[in-house]
Chains A and B, each alone.
Chain A
Amino acid sequence: MSKNIVLKKGLDIPVNGAAELCLSKTVSPDIVAVEPTALKGFTPRLLVKEGDKVLAGSPVMADKKNPAILLASPVSGTVKEIVRGDKRKLLAVTVQADDVQEYLKSEPACGSAEEVKETLLKAGLWPFIIQRPYGITADPAAVPGAIFVSAFSTAPLAADTEFTLGGRVNDIQAGINALARIAPVHVGVADSGSTFAKLENAEISVFKGKHPAGNVGIQIAAVKPIQKGDVVWTVSLLGLAAIGKYLTKGIYDVRRKVAVAGPAAIETAYVETLPGAPMKTLAGFYGGSDEGIRIISGDLLSGKAVGADGYLGFYDDTVTIILEGTEPELLGWAKPVRWSQFSTDHSYFSWLTPWRKYDMDTNLHGGPRAFVMNDSYYAKVLPMDIFPLYLIKACLAGDIDKMEQFGIYQVLPEDLALCEYVDPSKNNIQDMIAQGIDLMLKEMA
């Protein structure tokens, strides 16, 4: 039996350039980067040297605090370079891929909860499991109350999971069966007719609503809000498919269909590729140079600008390409009608043309100011039972008690991304929340 949950608040940003539902090509990148930076709470320790041979699935890094957590190479080949940043911070390990891919073979066992954990840790698939509160790489010793999976994304231009993963229901089911031994699994789907609504061994909830209804954090808050002391885990559908593949075939295969989208993309489509694949392999979609455009691994609201020299993020299944909005706009805000711009605010007139989509760019459309509008201005795009502005201000003040009271356990920056989008004071709200979470992690450790 599935539960229906209707979320009234939210906003679907009407931006042009959704990826067409066709697989345009399969990319087998020559070079793949293993980046630890996308993993929150993971402090990398190198396990390889330049010149080492690795197989697809061989561990490349381990977590310093918990050496059982491994990050694996998605390809077989030779370690080419160890990339370090300021203070010798490890940024990436690049691997030159072999022509013929060899996988590290194993016989996964998943009889008990402990066995499942051990298998996933050894396979290098553990980083797919995120722990809330705080959205960190899960602690294998923790006992989660539940495991949540969102089977769809509502973020602007995000990949359509029906298209990317609809064919891998068996893998996903195998993943759920294994994880269900650790804790009850909840799956949020967009529609009761969805492929994923038929998944077994999990509690299915149907979420109706605009973005961020597809965010797993919003779904958790609607099903069972996280309180102090609770621990829950989340896994992306993508991660679940990789886990299932490993459990059934015994290989570390994180290939995925990635949506290449955005108003500045020359062509929009899906490609099959690997996490850590260089953006250069997608040059055909943006024309080779990233001058004047922004290449984002992830969605428009919470993705990371990586540029043409960057790589596809570990968790990402969307690449978004938009124009940099460096062109000043004469009289902008003073024009009665701003035809080419979208605004949720009624002082502009986009509400008259709800069918229109816009070629958005990265212009800030204003300057940074103190918060002037009050809580409800932000709450209208956040389908969660919290006071967003109070939480943001508590984060700014670094007040642990207040953050706790106002629901820091329930949110990740991505959940408040729309608050940031609509903010007329142009504050970096996701950053503020991230700072609050970092402070909580430091103080609560």
Chain B
Amino acid sequence: MKKFWLATVDAFSTFLKVPGTVTRRGAHVRDAIDLKRIMIIAVISVVPAAIFGMWNVGYQHALAIGDGRLQILANFWYGFLKVLPLYVVAYGVGLFIEFFSAGIRNEEVNEGYLMSGMLIPLIVPVTVPLWMLAIAVAFSVIFVKEVFGGTGMNIWNPALVTRAFLFFAYPSSMSGSQCWISLKAGENVVDGFTGATPLALEGASAQYGTGIWDYIIGTIPGSVGETSVIAILLGAAILIWTGVASWKIMLSSIAGALFVGGLANLGGVGIPAWEHLILGGFAFGTVFMATDPVTSAQTECGKWIYGFLVGALCVTVRLFNPGYAEGMMLAILLGNTFAPLIDHCVVSSTMKRRAKAAAKTA
């Protein structure tokens, strides 16, 4: 029992200070980098999207009740109070399970969930009931991460599985035109307002002159953090510069989306290909979710293929499946599933090529 609590105590103490552990075997000196630093950088990269998302929750609420005044602080505060409980639940439930399993396994608590917990509230509708979120988080942390052995061993991105769980278990709370706008009790939507995402409306701007700049800035309904392309690009810059996420995956995902979108355009189907990049969860998923180093492809060549697959699948789902307006979640989960296979093909073909080259020189 004493050992069980050690993991928890250790997690808090190492959070405050780097312990005086010294190298016992192998290289006597080690780089200052550790997973805590890498994870905190990843978390910081999401902050712009989170802050904008909170403001946008308030802004959408104001639009819905017909309050056209631009109140930056008031809108942010409204959204903050709405999103905060999501964070409390996501981190509370997820970290509890993480600490508990670390105690059982007698290992140090892994930092991986800090990033998952940061992402989860941003990829769900703000109105999602907290008990649903708690169940979804518990499911995903236990069955997608811990049963495989914890961070580093999982096959799918835990944050996305949380969303997928909600999506399939409670579809009525996850899609349609009501779930994206948070309203206080007794408030009514003004006439003509629809809370549907532009993607669900196929880009048709409904009531608020939705234009390209609205998509890019992010003043549209959607999951909390996914709407602002600018905030997401800020995060992408941090991730690429620090090397936490792969630019190859981001670039090839964009290429994949443009490819399928472009083909569809040639056949006269769908919105212009490039609009897919700034609508819905594409940008958020490409930057923060598809690039997860654990669940994405490992090899450099594999990353190109994997990214392309994610982008292409996303737009394919968007265009050809009337049931799902948004395809990013499923595209990334499918990409995660195929990543080991992609790597296997890349590695074995490289090995074969090398063996041939070696046979030639010998």
Contact = CB atoms under 8 A, between A and B. Distances in A.
Given A224-B361, A430-B26, A330 B16 contact: yes
A86 B294 CA distance: 42
Given A333-B36, A347-B244, A430 B293 contact: no
Contacts of A417: 26-27
B112 interface: yes
Given A329-B18, A347-B242, A429-B26, A373 B31 contact: no
Contacts of B18: 328-329, 332-333, 363, 365-366
A431 B26 contact: yes
A333 B28 contact: no
A346 B239 CA distance: 10
Contacts of B111: 369
B217 to A, nearest CB: 28
Nearest to B110: A369
Given A324-B22, A325-B22, A365-B33, A346 B242 contact: yes
A425 interface: yes
B212 interface: no
A334 B44 CA distance: 12
A426 B34 contact: yes
B23 interface: yes
B186 interface: no
Given A328-B20, A363-B18, A370 B26 contact: no
Given A300-B28, A347-B242, A364-B22, A330 B41 contact: no
Contacts of A423: 30-31
A422 interface: yes
Interface string B1-37: 0000000001000111111111111111111111111
A372 B40 contact: no
A156 B28 CA distance: 11
Given A15-B29, A342-B32, A428-B25, A363 B293 contact: no
A345 B243 contact: yes
A227 B40 contact: no
B243 A346 contact: yes
Contacts of A346: 241-243
Given A338-B32, A342-B32, A347-B37, A363 B21 contact: yes
B28 A366 contact: no
Nearest to B297: A374
B351 interface: yes
Contact of B37 (A156, A305, A348, A364): A348
A424 to B, nearest CB: 5
Interface stretch (B145-153, B218-226, B276-284): B145-153
Interface residues of A, number: 72
Contacts of B14: 367
B63 interface: no
Interface stretch (A45-53, A117-125, A385-393): A385-393
A364 B151 contact: no
Contacts of A326: 20, 22
A303 interface: yes
Residue from B22, B25, B27, B298 with most neighbouring chain A CB atoms (10 Å): B27
Contact of B30 (A227, A365, A413): A365
Nearest to A263: B29
A342 B30 CA distance: 9
B296 interface: yes
Nearest to B300: A376
B347 interface: yes
A375 B299 contact: yes
A194 interface: no
Residue from A300, A327, A368, A426 with most neighbouring chain B CB atoms (10 Å): A426
Contact of A347 (B30, B33, B112, B149): B33
A431 B258 CA distance: 46
Given A328-B18, A367-B21, A372 B299 contact: no
A84 B84 CA distance: 64
B27 A420 contact: yes
A334 B108 contact: no
B362 interface: yes
Contact of A348 (B26, B30, B33): B33
Contacts of B299: 375-376, 387
A245 interface: no
Contacts of A377: 243, 293
Contacts of A389: 298
A341 B26 contact: no
Contacts of B358: 225, 227
A86 to B, nearest CB: 18
A345 B38 CA distance: 9
A406 B354 CA distance: 11
A133 B275 CA distance: 55
Residue from A322, A365, A387, A431 with most neighbouring chain B CB atoms (10 Å): A365
B85 to A, nearest CB: 26
B13 to A, nearest CB: 9
Interface string A397-434: 00000000110000001000100111111101111000
A326 B242 CA distance: 28
A343 B37 CA distance: 11
Nearest to B150: A370
A360 interface: yes
Nearest to A13: B29
Contact of A303 (B16, B28, B350): B28
Given A326-B20, A366-B18, A370-B110, A360 B29 contact: yes
Contacts of A296: 28
A300 B33 contact: no
Given A328-B20, A333-B18, A424-B38, A369 B108 contact: yes
A15 B28 CA distance: 12
A362 interface: yes
Nearest to A227: B358
14 contacts: A227-B362, A331-B17, A334-B15, A343-B32, A345-B31, A363-B18, A367-B10, A368-B108, A369-B35, A370-B150, A371-B152, A385-B354, A426-B34, A428-B24
Interface of A: 13, 15, 156, 224-225, 227, 294, 296, 300-303, 305, 320, 322, 324-334, 338, 341-348, 360-377, 385, 387, 389-390, 405-406, 413, 417, 420-426, 428-431
Given A333-B37, A371-B152, A376-B246, 16 more contacts: A322-B28, A342-B32, A346-B242, A347-B38, A362-B22, A363-B20, A364-B22, A367-B108, A370-B149, A370-B152, A375-B298, A422-B31, A423-B31, A424-B31, A426-B30, A428-B24
Closest 10 CB pairs of A and B: A366-B34, A370-B152, A332-B18, A341-B32, A345-B33, A326-B20, A430-B26, A343-B32, A329-B18, A374-B298
Interface of B: 10, 14-38, 40-41, 108, 110-112, 149-153, 241-244, 246, 293-294, 296-300, 347-348, 350-351, 354-355, 358, 361-362
